[in-house]
């Protein structure tokens, strides 16, 4: 009987995990950039209007 082959080696999984982490960090950085740019465009009065 043939042994079942593993689809991914441990090195592949490590690379995949690292790539997923980098993509997550890039997504978080994009969200922060969009948030900050929105605050800058709206101006400083936004915080005062919320009160």
**Which of the residue ranges 2-6, 23-27, 31-35 would you say has the lowest mean pLDDT?**
2-6
Contacts of 16 (CB under 8 A, 6+ apart): 8
Task: Provide CB contacts within 8 A for 46, sequence distance 6+.
Answer: 39
pTM strictly above 0.85: no
Q: What's the whole-number mean pLDDT along residues 8-13? A: 90
């Amino acid at each position: 009987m043939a042994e079942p082959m593993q689809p991914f080696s441990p090195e592949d999984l490590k690379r995949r995990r690292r790539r997923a982490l980098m993509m997550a960090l890039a997504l978080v950085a994009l969200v922060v950039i969009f948030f900050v740019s929105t605050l800058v465009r709206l101006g400083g009065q936004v915080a005062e209007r919320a009160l």
